[in-house]
Chain A
Amino acid sequence: MKITRKRLRPVVGAVAVAAAASLALAGCTTSTPSSEASSGGKTITIAQVNEVTSFNYNTPQGNLDINGMINYLTQPQFFTLDQKYNIVHNTDLGTYKKLSDDPLKVEYTLNKDDKWSDGTPMTADDLMLGWAISSCYYDSSKTDDDGNVTSGTQYFTNAGGCIFKTDLPKISNDNRTITFTYKQPYVDWELVNPIQLPAHVVASEIGVSTKDLTQAFLKTPAGDPDNPAPANATLNKAAKLVNTGFDTTSLPKDKKLLVSGGPLQVSAWTPKQSMTLVPNKYYKGKHAVKFGKLVIRFIGDANAQVTALQNGEVDAIQPQASADTLKALKAASGVKVQTGNQVAYDHLDLNFKSSVFSDPKVREAFLLTIPRDEILKSIVTPINPNAKVLDSQIFLPGQDGYDESVKQNGSSEFDKVDIDKAKQLLGGKTPTVKILYNTQNPNRVDAFQAIQASAAKAGFNVTDGGSPQWSSLLPGGDYDASIFGWVSPGAGNTMLPQLFQIGNGSNYNNFNVKEASDLAEQSQSTLDPKKLQDIKFQIDKLAFTNFYGLPLFQSPGLFATNSKLKGVEYFGGQTGIVWNAWDWSK
Chain B
Amino acid sequence: MSTIQGNLPEPGLDGAGMTDADTGAKGESQGRIILRRFLKNKVAVAALIVYLLVLIFSISAIGLGPVHGWWPYSYKQLNPQVNQGAPTLRLWPFSFGAHPFGQDRIGKDYFALTMRGIQNSVLVMIVLGVFATVVGVIVGAIAGYFRGWVDAVLMRITDIFIVIPALVVGAIVGRTANGLGAFGLAALLALVSWMVIARLVRSEFLALREREFVEAARVAGASDARIIFRHILPNAVGVIIVASTLLIASAILLETAISYLGFGIKAPDSSLGLLISLNQSAFTTRPWLFWWPAVFIVLLALCVNFVGDGLREAFDPRQQRFSLRRTREPEPTEADAALAQAGAAGPGDGSGGAGA
Direct contact of A and B (CB under 8 A): yes
Query: Within the complex, what minimum Cβ distance (angstroms) separates A303 from chain B?
Result: 5
Which residues of chain A have C-beta atoms less than 8 A from B279's C-beta? 324
The answer to whether B107 and A378 have CB atoms under 8 Å apart is yes
The answer for the CA separation of A450 and B106 in the assembled complex, in Å, is 9
Residue of A nearest to B178 (CB): A468
- 8 Å CB contact of A450 from B76, B78, B178, B282: B78
The answer to whether B285 and A331 have CB atoms under 8 Å apart is yes
The answer to whether A303 and B280 have CB atoms under 8 Å apart is yes
Which residues of chain B have C-beta atoms less than 8 A from A303's C-beta? 280-281, 283
Residues 80 to 125 of chain A near chain B (Cβ within 8 Å)? none
Which residues of chain A have C-beta atoms less than 8 A from B175's C-beta? 468
Query: Within the complex, what minimum Cβ distance (angstroms) separates B286 from chain A?
Result: 6
The answer to whether B178 and A445 have CB atoms under 8 Å apart is no
Query: Within the complex, what minimum Cβ distance (angstroms) separates B231 from chain A?
Result: 49
Residue of A nearest to B262 (CB): A440
Which residues of chain B have C-beta atoms less than 8 A from A322's C-beta? 281
The answer to whether A449 and B76 have CB atoms under 8 Å apart is yes
- Number of chain B interface residues as a range: 20 to 34
The answer for the CA separation of A331 and B106 in the assembled complex, in Å, is 22
Q: Does A325 sit within 8 A of B, measured CB to CB? A: yes
- 8 Å CB contact of B284 from A302, A331, A449: A331
Which residues of chain B have C-beta atoms less than 8 A from A306's C-beta? 281
Q: In the complex where A450-B78, A468-B175 touch, is A327 in contact with B285 (Cβ < 8 A)?
A: yes
Which residues of chain A have C-beta atoms less than 8 A from B76's C-beta? 449
The answer for the CA separation of A302 and B262 in the assembled complex, in Å, is 14
The answer for the CA separation of A306 and B267 in the assembled complex, in Å, is 24
Residue from B179, B266, B285, B286 whose CB has the most chain A CB atoms within 10 Å: B285
The answer to whether B266 and A324 have CB atoms under 8 Å apart is no
Residues 265 to 316 of chain B near chain A (Cβ within 8 Å)? 266-268, 278-286
The answer to whether A328 and B285 have CB atoms under 8 Å apart is yes
Q: Does B105 sit within 8 A of A, measured CB to CB? A: yes
Which residues of chain A have C-beta atoms less than 8 A from B280's C-beta? 303
What string of 1s and 0s marks CB contacts (under 8 Å) between B104-116 and chain A? 0111000000000
Chain A interface, number of residues (Cβ within 8 angstroms):
23
The answer for the CA separation of A468 and B279 in the assembled complex, in Å, is 20
The answer to whether B267 and A325 have CB atoms under 8 Å apart is no
The answer to whether A323 and B105 have CB atoms under 8 Å apart is yes
Which residues of chain A have C-beta atoms less than 8 A from B78's C-beta? 449-450, 453
Q: Does A10 sit within 8 A of B, measured CB to CB? A: no
Residues 448 to 488 of chain A near chain B (Cβ within 8 Å)? 449-450, 453, 467-468
The answer to whether A446 and B178 have CB atoms under 8 Å apart is no
The answer to whether A439 and B267 have CB atoms under 8 Å apart is yes
The answer for the CA separation of A306 and B268 in the assembled complex, in Å, is 27
Q: Does A442 sit within 8 A of B, measured CB to CB? A: yes
Residues 145 to 189 of chain B near chain A (Cβ within 8 Å)? 175, 178-179
Q: In the complex where A378-B106, A378-B107, A449-B78 touch, is A442 in contact with B285 (Cβ < 8 A)?
A: no
What string of 1s and 0s marks CB contacts (under 8 Å) between A296-324 and chain B? 00000011001000000000000000111
Query: Within the complex, what minimum Cβ distance (angstroms) separates A451 from chain B?
Result: 11
Query: Within the complex, what minimum Cβ distance (angstroms) separates A326 from chain B?
Result: 9
Which residues of chain B have C-beta atoms less than 8 A from A450's C-beta? 78, 106
The answer for the CA separation of A302 and B279 in the assembled complex, in Å, is 12
Which residues of chain B have C-beta atoms less than 8 A from A439's C-beta? 178, 266-267
Which residues of chain B have C-beta atoms less than 8 A from A446's C-beta? 105-106
What string of 1s and 0s marks CB contacts (under 8 Å) between A368-381 and chain B? 00000000001100
The answer for the CA separation of A566 and B355 in the assembled complex, in Å, is 68
Query: Within the complex, what minimum Cβ distance (angstroms) separates B8 from chain A?
Result: 44
The answer to whether B285 and A440 have CB atoms under 8 Å apart is no
The answer to whether B286 and A324 have CB atoms under 8 Å apart is yes
Query: Within the complex, what minimum Cβ distance (angstroms) separates B192 from chain A?
Result: 21
The answer to whether A449 and B268 have CB atoms under 8 Å apart is yes
Which residues of chain A have C-beta atoms less than 8 A from B262's C-beta? 440
Residue of A nearest to B107 (CB): A378
Residue of B nearest to A320 (CB): B281
Which residues of chain B have C-beta atoms less than 8 A from A325's C-beta? 281
Which residues of chain A have C-beta atoms less than 8 A from B105's C-beta? 323, 378, 382, 442, 446
The answer for the CA separation of A481 and B268 in the assembled complex, in Å, is 19
Query: Within the complex, what minimum Cβ distance (angstroms) separates B37 from chain A?
Result: 46
Which residues of chain B have C-beta atoms less than 8 A from A378's C-beta? 105-107
The answer for the CA separation of A378 and B262 in the assembled complex, in Å, is 22
The answer for the CA separation of A322 and B285 in the assembled complex, in Å, is 11
Residue of A nearest to B282 (CB): A324
The answer to whether B285 and A324 have CB atoms under 8 Å apart is yes
The answer for the CA separation of A449 and B175 in the assembled complex, in Å, is 22
- 8 Å CB contact of B267 from A331, A382, A442: A442
Residues 322 to 356 of chain A near chain B (Cβ within 8 Å)? 322-325, 327-328, 331
Residue of B nearest to A326 (CB): B285
Which residues of chain A have C-beta atoms less than 8 A from B284's C-beta? 327-328, 331
Residue of B nearest to A377 (CB): B106
The answer to whether B266 and A468 have CB atoms under 8 Å apart is yes
Which residues of chain B have C-beta atoms less than 8 A from A379's C-beta? 106
Residues 294 to 347 of chain B near chain A (Cβ within 8 Å)? none
Which residues of chain A have C-beta atoms less than 8 A from B286's C-beta? 324
The answer for the CA separation of A324 and B85 in the assembled complex, in Å, is 12
Query: Within the complex, what minimum Cβ distance (angstroms) separates A441 from chain B?
Result: 10
Which residues of chain A have C-beta atoms less than 8 A from B266's C-beta? 439-440, 468
Which residues of chain B have C-beta atoms less than 8 A from A445's C-beta? 267-268
Residue of A nearest to B280 (CB): A303
Which residues of chain B have C-beta atoms less than 8 A from A382's C-beta? 105
A interface residues, Cβ below 8 angstroms from B: 302-303, 306, 322-325, 327-328, 331, 378-379, 382, 439-440, 442, 445-446, 449-450, 453, 467-468
18 A-B contacts (beta carbon < 8 Å):
A302-B281, A303-B280, A303-B281, A323-B105, A324-B281, A325-B281, A327-B285, A331-B285, A378-B105, A439-B267, A440-B262, A440-B266, A442-B267, A446-B106, A449-B106, A449-B268, A450-B106, A453-B78
Given contact pairs A303-B281, A382-B105, A442-B267, enumerate 6 new A-B contacts (beta carbons under 8 Å).
Answer: A306-B281, A328-B284, A445-B267, A449-B268, A453-B78, A468-B175
